[in-house]
Chains A and B, each alone.
Chain A
């Protein structure tokens, strides 16, 4: 099946929410399907007493090598998890608890994903101190801020690579150098959004821990990985126990089909070198069309964002109404968290200094492998019409 065959029907809204999740690439799905049925490789990769297990283990190790190669790591540094959230939890709790005798101070940023912020808040409840760095107005964290925040008992710094809301890329190598000079602080990087969007080189960057996700890059949901540096002999306290899989750091039967899917997805993303310029051109056309609406603001430093993400605030438009007005034509995310009817403006945009209204009236457009020029035109037209109508209703 070609990638085009995976596209939704014409009547469906244009999908521009690839930062939330992506459709599984048909090539990935085909590899996964090989590991599910009796005719395929369905054995438990931990069962080394027979051929079924050995064949599954071969697939798992091949996938491990694919993920490692795509991320600039060694295969032995890849620990499978259920996704980036679990990887972040394992990194934050695992490192903080293992090194607790060396100190109980953690440094992170206000713009991190909840999968890092919530574990940090839990650490505070357990007696740790956490410093939350404030980004500049473009979303950047200056390595100097990290340097200034480090204390004698700082054992962990957790800074994301690509922000999931605004797409800003942090200077991870420079931050890693700051941590290396400190000597005690280990660096964890949430790179859930990075693969396929910008280069990752775990080894060269000097990072100690890195969280990865499969479903952000046309792989399956329910699988991710934590890269654990062997170069610096990083240690973690395990969070779950039961079978000793994954070097004892993540017990539980490894889901062969899931990790095979992640390996294939990462290999495809690493090979898709032409993807960046193509998507960047689409993103630029999208911004050009939205900017022409007038009274719009781009969130995040434009010169330092990945091509796949564009976050825009619309003045004089209420966020929930904007999302409701475009949802039949375009699937995007809003700058509000709406787990309940009581909506909260994006804490990421608030951290950048956007006021509550602008933070709430933002839309995140995230492009992907299957986004077409026609999708962009549909999105521009739908958003322009919605904004004009809502401003008219508001008398703005």
Chain B
């Protein structure tokens, strides 16, 4: 399979892969048994503050890893919101994902929403 330059770069470098440890807001979605699993951990400054740090873990295809890495990177410095830093369709275009991979993006989105819920951000 051919991957876009952006997908290739974020898959190969996977910035933000890892965890933040105790105290971080955490949310996960998907399952390894089903082939795609993503977790986000967020460190948010004082209540109402911005996202100070974000990490992710991902079991999945290169697109999943690349998008999760991009989302974690893009989240830093933003106000926590119950929506991805960029919508699913926009992410699909940005990473040139085939339509068959749309479900993987939804797992990324669900993991993000779960992390936001854990952080107390209401949707």
- A interface vs B, CB < 8 Å? 316, 318, 320-321, 324-325, 338, 340-342, 356-357, 360, 389, 392-396
| Contact yes or no, B59 A318, CB < 8 A | yes
| Contact yes or no, B17 A316, CB < 8 A | no
**Which residues of chain B have C-beta atoms less than 8 A from A338's C-beta?**
1
**Which residues of chain A have C-beta atoms less than 8 A from B79's C-beta?**
none
Bound Cα distance from A396 to B59, whole angstroms: 9
Mark each residue of chain B from 58 to 91: 1 if its CB lies under 8 Å from any CB of chain A, else 0: 1111100100000000000000000000000000
| Contact yes or no, B101 A341, CB < 8 A | yes
| Contact yes or no, A316 B61, CB < 8 A | no
A393-B58 contact given A324-B3, A324-B11, CB 8 Å threshold: yes
Bound Cα distance from A318 to B36, whole angstroms: 8
A341-B58 contact given A316-B32, A320-B1, A321-B11, CB 8 Å threshold: no
Question: Least Cβ distance of B27 to chain A in Å?
Answer: 14
| Total chain B interface residues with beta-carbon distance under 8 A | 24
| Contact yes or no, B11 A357, CB < 8 A | no
A341-B60 contact given A321-B65, A393-B14, A395-B39, CB 8 Å threshold: no
| Contact yes or no, A316 B101, CB < 8 A | no
Question: Least Cβ distance of B63 to chain A in Å?
Answer: 9
Mark each residue of chain B from 1 to 27: 1 if its CB lies under 8 Å from any CB of chain A, else 0: 101000000010010011100000000
- Asked if B48 lies at the interface with its beta carbon under 8 angstroms from chain A, I say no
| Contact yes or no, A318 B60, CB < 8 A | yes
A340-B35 contact given A318-B60, A321-B11, A393-B58, CB 8 Å threshold: no
**Which residues of chain B have C-beta atoms less than 8 A from A340's C-beta?**
100
| Contact yes or no, A394 B100, CB < 8 A | no
Question: Least Cβ distance of A42 to chain B in Å?
Answer: 39
A394-B58 contact given A357-B32, A357-B35, CB 8 Å threshold: yes
| Contact yes or no, B100 A360, CB < 8 A | no
Option from A316, A342, A356, A357 in Cβ contact (under 8 Å) with B100:
A342
Closest Cβ neighbor of A394 among chain B residues: B59
Option from A342, A389, A395 in Cβ contact (under 8 Å) with B19:
A395
